[in-house]
Structures are given as C-alpha cells and as structure tokens.
Amino acid sequence: MVSNPHKAVAAEVTPGRPKAGPPPLCFVVEEDFVFRQGFAKELRRQNIDVVEFSNSSRLMDMVEEQNPDIVFINLNSAAPYECVRTFLALKECSYSGAVQLFGHCEQKILDGFNGAGAACSLAMLPPIVKPIKFSAVHRIIQDQCRYEIVAVPGRVSLKDAVEKDQIRFLYQPKFDLKTRTMIGVEAVARVAHPELGLLAPDQFLKGADEESLVKLSRIALVNGIKASARFQEAGIALQVAVNMSVDVLLQLPIADLVLMHRPERSDWPGVILEAPERQVASKIRSLKARFPGLQQSKVAIAIDNFGRGSFCLATMNEMPFAEIKIDRTLVEGCAGNAAHANICKTIVQMAHNFGSRAVAVGISTEADLKALLALDCDCGQGFLLGKPISMRELDSWISKFNVQSA
C-alpha cells in the first residue's frame, strides 16, 4: 500500500501548537442516504475530504487506491453483519489507518463490535453512540492526524476537473530490457489547471468519488485508444496501457468504446488495461466472464502492483494475462536486497510459466536494471528509462528510437 502523506506530516509534529497539514481523508460507510449525506457535508464544511459508501462492496478497492486516515462505520441494527463485512474488507487490504464505529444502540453493543474490529487487527477508536456531535468528530480527526487541518491551495476536485475538461495525459515509455527498444507506453492522468498548472494525481485523486473515478477511467481509455490509433497511422505499433480498477472495467462498455475509436487496420496492437493484483484475485470470475469480449476487441489485461498481496496461483490458470507488473516496492533497490531480488525472480519465472511478460515498474538505477536483466525480466519502465512525457515529446522520442512492435 502506498504510504499516506498525512502520516508523514504527522510524524514531524513537535510538542506545542500543531503544525498545519493537508485535509485528512475520511471514508464514511452508512446505508442511510440522508444521514450519510449530512455527515459528509458537515465534514467537508470543516475542510475534511470525504468519500461515501452505502456498504462495503467498493470499500476495499477504494481503500487501496486512496488510503484514508479514518474509516467511519455505522453499526446498523437492521444489518449488523454489514459492519463485520466492512471489518473483514479492511483487514483483507491491510488497512493501516483508524476505524471509528458509531451507531444508535447501547454502548455495550458498540463495544462488542469494536472488539470484533480489534480482532481483525484494526486500529479501533472508542465507539460513539448516536446522535453524533460533529465537534467531537472534528476533535477525533484532529487528534488522529495530530496536526492543524488547513486548506491546501494546490489541490483540486477530480469532479470539477472532469466537468471542466481539464484532464490531460502524459505517457511513460515501456522498454524491452534486452534490446532497449520502446514497445509501449502507459497513459498517466494529469489535471491542467488554469492557475496551478499541471497537477499530479495526489493533487486531485484524494477524496474523489466513485462516479468521477469511472468518468476518469472512461476518458483515459478513449484517450489510450486514440493515442494508439495515432501511432498506428504513423506506422508504429505501440501498445498503450491504461490503469483501471476491476469494478470500473466491468462497468464500462469497453468493446463499444474500442469499436468507436480504434483504427480499422487489422494489425492494430490493441490496448492493455492494468488492474491491481488484489482486485483481479478477488473478482476473477467476473473478469473471466468478461474476457472473451475484451479479447475479441483486442483488449488485453495486465496485473498491476504484483507482489503487494497474497496472490493465488490458481488465478493465473483462469485466464491469460498479457503482463505481470512487478510492484515498484520490490523493484527499487532489488540489486542490493537479496529478498526482493528473489521475489522478483519468482514473479518473472511465474509470468513466463503462464505465458505472460514480466514488467518491472519503477526502475531508477543502472544497478537495478542489471539485476533485473540477470533475472530474465522482459520489460521495464521507470525514471531511468524515461519519465512520463507529453505526446509532442513522445513524437520526438519515437523519431530517435528504433521502435519495435509489442
């Protein structure tokens, strides 16, 4: 899991007046729409980022993507085991933040469920009996984050950026490590703000709602198809990769979007959709059912962030994956870390055994590159090989390098 920038700020706080920090991110799991909306509105009024959930079904994916500071969970007496399912979802994705339980029931019942959360190795805060005092909630968040909550002028709303057509894309080159030739690119989203300039994902994804994330994925997919069509028209077969959660992949009309925007040439290399390892493992049946249509549309699937979780090898037999992307936490420094090198070697061998390419993410030193080559890793991307660049810069790159088909 990516480290939380809020936690880094908190670690620097010294005794005395708290230092200023960015808005915390809170998830609110509450099936009562009216209460959930009111609760979220009050938190946002206090300069706190909020993502709302009616149940735990999407929680795990969003926790992995955004790593909230606190998850607020309502204990609904009509469906108390939804609370337990939420605990299990948080445990499954190794959530390291705090959990605040609240409910309109007796204190001893809340305490009992709090104990169930603690048994799942979650950092449970003292539960709250409804009705909730928002001043108390604000103090809880302030104490948990350990810094003074202030607005951050460099952050924008993804929803606003989508509505104002401010989404732009850079492209990170992907290379065949043995030949040092470019075989593809990964599209990475940015927000082109009229006053703040080009913003990175951590400045617009934090606190993004599910609807906005779906819209962003749709924009990214269409952009990736059009970009690959542009390369095809130039006589270059570069495969474009797009990051996408499995839930969004299952929602979007991908085959229709491909049909609308792809080039008509039969030798078009298609696009790759990169989905996180844990999501692929937990939703493999739904993904497998969707795969024949994707394959017919020349859409391949890659497993991203591989090595973060416990992946069942049986999943690899369910359907073919174009690539296994080794997580950067294992790649960075692998030349001097025998344990990480051994894990990378195992992942490379597993990828080859199942007919997939092994792709190392986050290559930043020559030493790591040499180590990965010795492990027979196929492809790689990272700042050593090429940072994300604009389409104009990519055109210049293509003119200088011998590009081979993916």
The residue-averaged pLDDT of 15-20 equals 47
Could you report the per-residue pLDDT of 41-73, keeping only the tens digit for each? 888 888 888 999 888 877 877 887 788 999 999
pLDDT over 60 (residue 3): no
The CATH 3.20.20.450 domain(s) of the chain lie at 158-400
Could you report the per-residue pLDDT of 338-353, keeping only the tens digit for each? 999 999 999 999 999 9
pLDDT of residue 4: 39
> What homologous superfamily is domain 5-149 in, according to CATH?
Response regulator (3.40.50.2300)
CATH architecture of 158-400: Alpha-Beta Barrel (3.20)
pLDDT of residue 9: 33
Q: What residue has token string 């706080």? A: 13
Region at 327 (left for phi over 0; alpha for psi -120 to 50; beta for the rest) = beta
The CA distances from residue 186 to 15, 107, 224, in Å, are 44, 51, 9
End-to-end CA distance of the chain: 30
The residue-averaged pLDDT of 236-259 equals 92
The CATH 3.40.50.2300 domain(s) of the chain lie at 5-149
pLDDT of residue 152: 56
Could you report the per-residue pLDDT of 108-127, keeping only the tens digit for each? 999 999 999 999 999 999 99
pLDDT of residue 151: 57
- Kindly indicate the confidence band of residue 205, based on its pLDDT and cuts at 50, 70 and 90: confident
Could you report the per-residue pLDDT of 259-318, keeping only the tens digit for each? 999 988 888 999 999 999 988 988 899 999 999 999 999 999 999 999 876 667 778 888
Label residue 55 exposed, middle or buried (CB < 10 Å: 0-12, 13-18, 19+).
middle
Could you report the per-residue pLDDT of 150-195, keeping only the tens digit for each? 555 666 889 999 999 999 999 999 999 999 888 999 999 999 988 8
pLDDT of residue 338: 95
The tokens describing 213, both together, are: 């994330």
pLDDT of residue 15: 42
Q: How far apart are the C-alpha atoms of 72 and 125, rounded to whole Å?
A: 10
pLDDT of residue 148: 59
The tokens describing 73, both together, are: 């969970």
pLDDT of residue 153: 60
The residue-averaged pLDDT of 82-86 equals 89
HSE at residue 128, side-chain half, CA atoms within 13 A, is: 19
Q: What DSSP designation does 389 have?
A: B
The residue-averaged pLDDT of 236-256 equals 92
Helix (H) or strand (E) holding 29: strand 25-29
pLDDT over 50 (residue 35): yes
